[in-house]
Amino acid sequence: MNVKLTRRTFLAGGTALTALVMSGLPRRADAQSGTVNLYTSRHYNTDEALYDSFMNGEINMIEAKAGELIERIKSEGVNSPADVFMTVDAGNLWRADRDGLFLPVNSSMLESKIPENLRHPNGHWFGFSKRARVIYYNKDRVSPSDLSTYEDLADSKWRGKILIRSSGNIYNQSLISSLIAAHGDAAIEEWLEGFTANFAREPEANDTAQIRACADGVGDIAIANSYYFARLVKSTDPADQEVVRKVGIFFPNQGRGERGAHVNISGGGVLANSPNKNAAVAFLEHLASDQSQQYFAEGNNEYPVVEGVSLDPVLAGFGSFNADPVNVARLGENQQAAVRMMDRAGWR
Ligand SMILES: [Fe+2]
């Protein structure tokens, strides 16, 4: 497993005593200390700055892919030193929860600050930032007035024009799960046939590659998470600026009575075997504070979950939009069905 471990130590008053990189594994903290052992698949520099501002104790951080961390927490079992698991996509949080890894947390602070549909109904995990999975279009070939909903993307008018990455990607699995939540299995099974028939090419590469291919005219429209486009907008690379000049962002399902654009989260929860549960809860509450929310969201060009926290100017420039209000926990529940259907539809 490819992991990176950093350790920071702070006085209760907030003055840094030491900041060192450890080569070994964190030990189980004794229950009285303020140490929080964080296993995370997020990897942004601003996240580290954010963890530095946690004044209740020190953060030991292990970084790896979500699946690797889930396996590690399971194999460590009752002896796990991990207090908090953070990751991206509600599908990953759902998988960890299915394996019984999370402790239910009652925090009136978290419940009042984080919208109900962006956290587990019983406090097993909480969303701390959100991203929209939306449509990008080649401005030379498509007018925004040609675009409307995700559902419309199965229409034969898009034959050979849609760019999207593989069905193995959890962002796509969650998107299809949201469509299943809205329409049921049978309708989406049929919809997927039309949708996959409209692909411009065999799925390949990542979200950013779909947006670039859209600019290059490989297809007319692409589907990708909002922060990848925001990254291109902020890039000073002339090639990226050219992509941004050629491609527009479109938030689907915004019409009257429509459910809104598909939104997913970055989030985390306290682990059932956490040696330091109180500090772990305090850490989650820290992430929901206004100051942290701004940092956490901006670190990956995401939207804060807490109402009233100011938005990154690039995201603000995309315009406001309605988000699908479905509880993101549903995305995980529908995931297995989504994977089976995508496979049957020939989406590789
Ligand atoms: Fe991503």
pLDDT, tens only, 81-103:
999 999 999 999 999 999 999 99
Helix (H, G, I), strand (E, B) or coil at 250: strand
Q: Are 195 and 338 in contact (CB under 8 A)?
A: no
Report the pLDDT averaged over residues 17-21.
Answer: 29
Query: In the prediction, which pLDDT does 4 show?
Result: 56
Calculate how far, in angstroms, residue 28's C-alpha sits from the geometric centre of ligand 1. Answer: 31
CA distance 65 to 9: 25
Query: 267 pairs with which residues across the strands?
Result: 87, 127
Q: Could you give all domains of the chain from N- to C-terminal order, each with its CATH number? A: 4-130+265-311 (3.40.190.10), 131-261+321-344 (3.40.190.10)
For 7, what's the count of Cα atoms within 13 Å in the CB-facing half-sphere?
13
∠ Cα 234 238 241 (to 5°): 45
Query: In the prediction, which pLDDT does 51 show?
Result: 83
Task: Return all residues near 96 (Cβ < 8 A) that are at least 6 apart.
Answer: 66, 70, 73, 85, 87, 102, 125, 269
In the predicted model, is pLDDT for residue 16 greater than 50?
no
Least confident of 13-27, 48-62, 323-337: 13-27
Calculate how far, in angstroms, residue 171's C-alpha sits from the geometric centre of ligand 1. Answer: 8
Calculate how far, in angstroms, residue 256's C-alpha sits from the geometric centre of ligand 1. Answer: 30
In the predicted model, is pLDDT for residue 165 greater than 90?
yes
Calculate how far, in angstroms, residue 142's C-alpha sits from the geometric centre of ligand 1. Answer: 26
Calculate how far, in angstroms, residue 238's C-alpha sits from the geometric centre of ligand 1. Answer: 23
Tokens of 220: 């007319």
Q: Is 158 exposed, middle or buried (0-12, 13-18, 19+ CB in 10 A)?
A: buried
What's the pLDDT tens digit per position in 265-294?
999 999 999 999 999 999 999 999 998 999
Q: Are 211 and 222 in contact (CB under 8 A)?
A: yes
In the predicted model, is pLDDT for residue 23 greater than 70?
no
Beta carbons within 10 angstroms of residue 278's beta carbon: 16
Calculate how far, in angstroms, residue 86's C-alpha sits from the geometric centre of ligand 1. Answer: 14
What's the pLDDT tens digit per position in 102-115?
999 999 999 999 99
Q: Tell me what percent of the residues of the chain surpass a pLDDT of 90.
A: 84
To 10 degrees, what angle do helices 90-98 and 170-183 make? 90
Calculate how far, in angstroms, residue 88's C-alpha sits from the geometric centre of ligand 1. Answer: 8
What's the pLDDT tens digit per position in 226-251?
999 999 999 999 999 999 999 999 99
